[in-house]
Amino acid sequence: MASDPTRQRLHALVLGRVQRVCYRSFVLDEARQLGLSGSVRNLPDGRVEVIAEGPQPALRSLVARLRTGPRDALVAAVGEDWQEPTGTHTGFRIES
């Protein structure tokens, strides 16, 4: 079965003041509004990792929102790695 060319997987690493500012909750809400599946988690080095799958336009909207973040966040950079979707996630969740 051929993969859906409109669906993609985004692996994003967010750098800046993005921990202890409700950034993961922000990502959870935004991803769910966009109908994406995946997860978000804090990394030990202070970055936030986002893995999301869905239609490319929705993923691009998520990237724009990642760059802004919630009110108390200060996003310095968002690294993007675009991949083929794996379909391993159902829904969107915060991982510890």
Active-site option among 9, 24, 47, 65: 24
Instruction: Please check whether residue 8 lies inside any domain of the structure.
Output: no
Q: Is residue 66 part of a domain?
A: yes
How many Å apart are CA 11 and CA 39, to the nearest integer?
A: 10
**Residue 24 annotated in active site:** yes
> What's the number of domains the chain is made of?
1
* Residue % of the chain over a pLDDT of 70: 96
**Is 76 part of a structural domain of the chain?**
yes
Q: What predicted TM-score, i.e. pTM, was given to this entire model? A: 0.94
Residue 17: inside a domain, yes or no?
yes
The CATH number for 76's domain is: 3.30.70.100
pLDDT digits (tens, 9 = 90+) for 29-52: 999 999 999 999 999 999 999 999
Annotated catalytic residue 42 = yes
User: Domain for residue 37, yes or no?
Assistant: yes
Catalytic choice (17, 41, 42, 67): 42
Residue 3 has what pLDDT?
A: 59
Asked if residue 77 is part of any domain, the answer here is yes
27: domain range?
13-83
pLDDT tens-digit map of 11-22: 999 999 999 999
